[in-house]
């Protein structure tokens, strides 16, 4: 099965992709968070700069990039959340 998801980019990920958001029409589901990250890297290789520091959020729930499996549905939001700096 596949799902159409909306990917939201924040902070440095906006700079690296040139996008604030995009729709992905055919994301396999269920999918591990690592495979989801790999799919995003294939679309935007410059995201590799965030490789070991990024967290994904699926339906506003944080998901570390790893073996955790997520089940996506049409219309779900996936956010790319790089480390935030500030004071």
- Over residues 32-74, the pLDDT tens digits come to 999 999 999 999 999 999 999 999 999 999 999 999 999 999 9
Q: Are 49 and 16 in contact (CB under 8 A)?
A: yes
Rounded (5°) CA angle 17-25-46: 20
Q: Is the pLDDT of residue 85 over 80?
A: no
Specify the pLDDT at position 22. 98
- Over residues 10-42, the pLDDT tens digits come to 999 999 999 999 999 999 999 999 999 999 999
Specify the pLDDT at position 86. 54
Peptide bond between residue 30 and the one before it cis (omega within 30 degrees of 0): yes
CATH of domain 2-81: 3.10.20.30
What is the spatial distance between Cα 72 and Cα 87, in angstroms, rounded to a whole number?
35
Percent of the chain beyond pLDDT 70?
97
Specify the pLDDT at position 84. 72
């Amino acid at each position: 099965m596949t799902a159409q998801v909306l990917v939201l980019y924040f902070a440095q990920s906006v700079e690296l992709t040139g996008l604030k958001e995009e729709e992905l029409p055919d994301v396999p589901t269920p999918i591990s968070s690592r495979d989801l990250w790999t799919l995003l890297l294939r679309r935007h290789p410059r995201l590799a700069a965030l490789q070991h520091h990024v967290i994904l959020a699926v339906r506003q729930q944080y998901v570390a990039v790893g073996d955790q499996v997520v089940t996506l549905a049409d219309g779900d939001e996936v956010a790319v959340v790089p480390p935030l700096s500030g004071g």
